[in-house]
Chains A and B, each alone.
Chain A
């Protein structure tokens, strides 16, 4: 099937395994969750819910919130009771593979462009095969979404100058 080379390609090219998640409107790639971190309920199930804004020391210490951090904290997006889901502003629970719905709540214009394939990226077949949409979080770290600068690939080699020209 076509998904196999696509998958290999995606792993080689982007380091993200791509799976078409069938349950929602768009075939999206897997969210880039840290390995072994999901399901969240593995740790959180018996834990008391602590909504207080604080520095995360023991777990998730790598998360430094740089995303309208003055106005929000974990549980604005993560569902406090069912830990394996995200949460929309209206309280609806959504899957991690539907996180675009969450981002779209604030970034309406960009969400509109994403849905028509103008913002963000799609790979694979635009016709006659699997087309996969990258989720917002495949390119933007949701906790620190500004696109990071990259080392450019090398410039072309300058042509040799001959005869002093």
Chain B
């Protein structure tokens, strides 16, 4: 919150000093970038030209902050696509390779705060509905452990997302291809969405994110893995920066057991459609009518 009032204060100060003239100069000063960020429109209301301008400014800001050249995509959804995810519970061994691949691909803060978009839950065999026996801090020598099953949980990309409905400033919404996204520049950090999500799919930047500079992923999407700031909410985006380019999500590629599947629900030949039509699938908390596009299944 402090940062924001700071920005506002700077802005007022600059106005009074007649410093707006500086805006016409080619290269951006630090304060000026902040002024422009403050004036930035909601992503969905920007024209193409305004998007380009916002991206240019962000890329400069990131360069100044991290000393790296970022490439920020704004690639829109494809009308013929609705993304769906499949997770084979009979294969998952709870190794958490997916968790760390996601952290790396998506520039999550590593420590203080430690943010992870995937939580792997351990359940006692045969108690898929008895959530009292679950935990996600398990740490044995080796997995899988006899007598246990594992269930990774992340944003379920609901068709009817409760998080979107509660956001007072419309900083989060569902894209036409089904991906639920956040405009970090628009998020005010109220965390209503975190409270509304029945899957604990969202996490909050309680502090300035910490990422080792050499591990930054500079191929990013505006609505996805671009570096976040303190006081904003973030979550799984189905790796929007990858899937809109035809690549599998990072967690799919990292999983050593091949438990993770992904594809286009509108394509009858896709892997995900095959799963829904031929395997026993279920979705989490179906009774809430959130209509997740994340399908758990048992192949064996």
Contacts and interface: CB of A to CB of B under 8 A. Distances in A.
Contacts of A129: 246-247
B208 to A, nearest CB: 17
A120 B258 contact: yes
Given A134-B258, A149-B143, A155-B137, A116 B274 contact: yes
Interface string A119-135: 11111111111000010
* B100, B252, B253, B262 — most chain A CB neighbours (10 Å): B253
B210 to A, nearest CB: 13
B111 A157 contact: yes
Contact of A126 (B140, B258, B263): B263
Interface string A145-158: 00101111111111
A117 B143 contact: no
Contact of B136 (A9, A124, A155): A155
Nearest to A9: B253
Given A149-B143, A152-B95, A123 B248 contact: yes
A162 to B, nearest CB: 12
A109 B96 CA distance: 28
Contacts of B136: 155-156
Given A121-B255, A149-B144, 10 more contacts: A13-B254, A118-B88, A118-B299, A124-B247, A125-B245, A129-B247, A139-B257, A149-B143, A152-B95, A156-B114
A149 B248 contact: no
Contacts of A128: 245-246
A90 B127 CA distance: 45
A113 interface: yes
A154 B138 CA distance: 9
| Residue of B88, B246, B254 contacting most chain A CB atoms (<10 Å) | B246
B178 interface: no
Interface centre among A14, A113, A153 (most CB of B within 10 A): A153
Contacts of A123: 248, 252-253
Nearest to A134: B258
A13 B99 CA distance: 14
Interface of B: 88, 93-97, 99-100, 111, 114, 116, 119, 136-144, 245-248, 252-258, 261-263, 271, 274-275, 278-279, 299
A128 B140 CA distance: 41
Given A122-B248, A126-B246, A152-B95, A139 B258 contact: yes
Contact of A150 (B252, B254, B256, B279): B256
Nearest to A148: B142
Given A119-B258, A153-B97, A158-B137, A126 B275 contact: no
Interface string A88-126: 000000000000000000000000010011111111111
Interface in A65-81: none
B120 to A, nearest CB: 8
Contacts of B139: 152, 154-155
Given A118-B299, A125-B246, A150 B271 contact: no
Nearest to B275: A118
